[in-house]
């Protein structure tokens, strides 16, 4: 079943998207598949939490999975980090993410 999420791209344009929950996709892969960021500017490491190209700011009160050490370490070195920063590759598209709203961080 699809869930409704909102992604604000780096130009400030809001995109309401129906993301599939049955394809084991994460937020970074959703952004790529809907082409909401230029090719090669997001998910550079392939979703291993080794770069911060998929950093986003979580704007909704959605309860997210707990941040793991590698994500925390990566964000501690990233640019433009805020209190609500997360790596998109670490947010799986599940039913619990219904209503998620995020803004893509600036390209660094």
Strand residues in 12-105 grouped as ranges (E): 14-20, 55-58, 85-87, 101-104
pLDDT at 108 over 90: no
Q: State the residue for tokens 């805020």.
A: 82
The string of pLDDT tens digits covering residues 34-76 is 999 998 999 999 999 999 999 999 999 999 999 999 999 999 9
Which CATH number do you get for residue 71? 3.10.20.30
Residue with tokens 């291993």: 48
Which tokens sit at 58? 């979580």
Other C-beta atoms closer than 10 Å to the C-beta of 34 total: 14
Model pLDDT, residue 61: 97
pLDDT digits (tens, 9 = 90+) for 2-29: 999 999 999 999 999 999 999 999 999 9
Cα 53 off chain centre by: 10
Q: Which residue segment(s) compose the domain that 38 sits in?
A: 2-104
Q: How many domains does the chain have?
A: 1
């Amino acid at each position: 079943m699809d869930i409704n999420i909102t992604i604000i791209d780096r130009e400030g344009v809001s995109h309401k998207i129906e993301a599939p929950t049955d394809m084991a996709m994460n937020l970074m892969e959703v952004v790529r598949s809907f082409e909401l960021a230029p090719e090669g500017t997001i998910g550079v490491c392939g979703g291993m939490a080794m770069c911060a190209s998929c950093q986003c700011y979580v704007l909704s009160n959605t309860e997210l999975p707990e941040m793991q050490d590698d994500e925390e370490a990566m964000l501690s070195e990233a640019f433009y980090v805020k209190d609500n920063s997360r790596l998109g590759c670490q947010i799986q598209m599940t039913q619990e993410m219904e209503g998620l709203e995020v803004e893509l961080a600036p390209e660094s």
